[in-house]
């Protein structure tokens, strides 16, 4: 890189709250960064600094982008269930020798008042719901709603940011909203809709955890989908501060 070329950016993958907080901290520190959003959510909250929207074309395309931009540090701050981009990032980092940092918020854990049924994947969640639930609050994201489409005996309140993709259950109502959510509002949703089962993914974090506290207070069962295992590559951190320290160590000269 010549003296006239811009500094190599840190690539931040993901539109999570942690990704935005990290981008803001890097920009404040004067560290160049590019935040990459998948483009699956309309009107996303944009982070500070440069932003690109859309895929790279798999791990090879991502590796080519890293090489073209002389990027030596990648932060995977995607949603914990965004398996494909996390695998692509790990493969691209291996191929290019880039330093890989995975920012993973801690998962939720049940407390003494929680009534959780933990399942391995969304298919297992649908199978469990089909055998017992009657009034379901479904908060797994728009791409997973189709797994519940064949359940006719349950009614679903489906909360999404953007309209669901795929088929919908016969008996349902779609509620479009974006977090963070307040505990009082989550209580009201559960009570007013006579919810007996909440289905969610173990994404962790504070933005959407109020539904779990409300469910515990009201005795609502929670069907919790476990996280997939992350790629076994790179450095794993669990907070924005730790990610910032890791980026500083990897990206700054000396």
- Check residue 14 and give left, alpha or beta (phi > 0: left; psi -120 to 50: alpha): left
Average pLDDT (81-90) is: 94
CATH number at residue 68: 3.40.50.720
Same domain for 167 and 130: yes
CA atoms within 13 A on the CB side of 128: 20
- Which structural domain, as residue segments, surrounds residue 35? 10-105+230-251
Q: Of 4-18, 155-169, 217-231, which range is least confident?
A: 4-18
Same domain for 194 and 95: no
Q: Across the chain, what does the average pLDDT equal?
A: 92
Same domain for 92 and 18: yes
Same domain for 154 and 77: no
- Whole-number pLDDT of residue 253: 46
Same domain for 216 and 129: yes
| Structural domains of the chain, count | 2
Helical H segments across the chain, by residue range: 17-29, 58-68, 83-96, 122-132, 183-192, 210-218, 240-251
Q: Residue 73's beta-bridge partner residues?
A: 99
Same domain for 220 and 131: yes
Q: Of 2-6, 127-131, 177-181, 237-241, which range is least confident?
A: 2-6
Q: ω before 180 within 30° of 0 (cis)?
A: yes
Same domain for 146 and 85: no
CATH number at residue 144: 3.40.50
Q: What is the pLDDT of residues 19-42, one digit of tens each?
A: 999 999 999 999 999 999 987 666
- Contact at 8 Å (CB) between 191 and 67? no
pTM: 0.86
- Contact at 8 Å (CB) between 158 and 172? yes
- Whole-number pLDDT of residue 121: 96
Same domain for 240 and 203: no
């Amino acid at each position: 890189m010549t003296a006239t070329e811009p500094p190599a950016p840190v690539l931040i993958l993901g539109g999570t709250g942690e990704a935005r907080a990290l981008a803001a901290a890097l920009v404040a520190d004067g560290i160049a960064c590019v935040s990459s959003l998948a483009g699956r959510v309309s009107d996303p909250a944009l982070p500070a600094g440069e932003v690109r929207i859309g895929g790279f074309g798999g791990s090879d395309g991502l590796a080519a982008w890293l090489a073209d931009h002389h990027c030596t540090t990648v932060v995977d701050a995607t949603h914990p269930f965004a398996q494909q981009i996390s695998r692509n990032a790990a493969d691209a980092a291996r191929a290019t020798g880039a330093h890989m940092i995975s920012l993973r918020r801690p998962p939720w854990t049940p407390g003494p008042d929680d009534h959780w049924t933990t399942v391995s994947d969304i298919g297992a969640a649908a199978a469990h719901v089909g055998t017992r639930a009657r009034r379901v609050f479904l908060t797994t994201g728009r791409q997973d709603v189709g797994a519940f489409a064949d359940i006719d005996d349950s009614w679903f309140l489906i909360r999404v940011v953007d309209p669901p993709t795929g088929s919908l259950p016969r008996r349902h109502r779609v509620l479009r909203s974006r977090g963070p959510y307040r505990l009082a509002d989550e209580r009201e949703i559960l009570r007013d809709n006579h919810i007996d089962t909440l289905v969610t993914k173990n994404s962790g974090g504070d933005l959407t955890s109020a539904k779990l506290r409300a469910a515990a207070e009201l005795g609502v069962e929670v069907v919790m989908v476990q996280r997939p295992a992350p790629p076994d590559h790179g450095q794993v951190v669990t907070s924005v501060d730790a990610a910032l320290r890791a980026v500083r160590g990897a990206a700054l000269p000396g």
